[in-house]
Chain A
């Protein structure tokens, strides 16, 4: 499934044109990206949570050469599927 399939579903459900549907779906994902960029957590009930984790800098090692390198502090995004989604997958 790609964004195009989601846009098709929105187009069929709501009385917007295909162009409008495209813009609206893009707007939804843009709003999500902005929130994540601000370090905000997104909770979609029935689907799951997107969480931004702050990782501290640490010393890593190149497994090939054994050379030590500093891994810079960074932010990592994780997704935790909701209980509803999990039971849907295993129902």
Chain B
């Protein structure tokens, strides 16, 4: 699924004009991106949480030459799926496992 499929869904299912649907999808992800860039965490109920993590710099080594190099401090994003979504991803499987366990 791509951004364009999300736009398509809004047009077909929510009956929103193409142009506005594009702006909506763009706005959703742009605002999430800006929040992360500001260092803000995001919590989307039902989907999950995005957490900005600060990594300290450290002195690393080039494994080939053994030369010491400074690895700079950086920020990364960690995502954790919410419990609802994790359960939904595994719902089919859990039902199948239960059936197998009950031997029917």
Contacts and interface: CB of A to CB of B under 8 A. Distances in A.
Interface of A: 1-3, 5-6, 9-10, 13-16, 23-25, 27-29, 31-33, 35-37, 40-48, 50, 52, 72-79, 81, 85-86, 88-91
Nearest to A1: B35
Interface of B is mostly: helix
A27 B43 contact: no
A28 B89 contact: no
B61 interface: no
Given A10-B27, A52-B89, A74-B90, A31 B76 contact: no
Size class of the contact patch on chain B: 35 or more
Interface of B: 1-3, 5-6, 9-10, 13-14, 16, 20, 23-25, 27-33, 35-37, 40-48, 50, 52, 74-77, 79, 81, 85-86, 88-91, 93, 97
Contact of A1 (B5, B6, B43, B93): B43
B97 to A, nearest CB: 6
Given A33-B85, A37-B89, A1 B33 contact: no
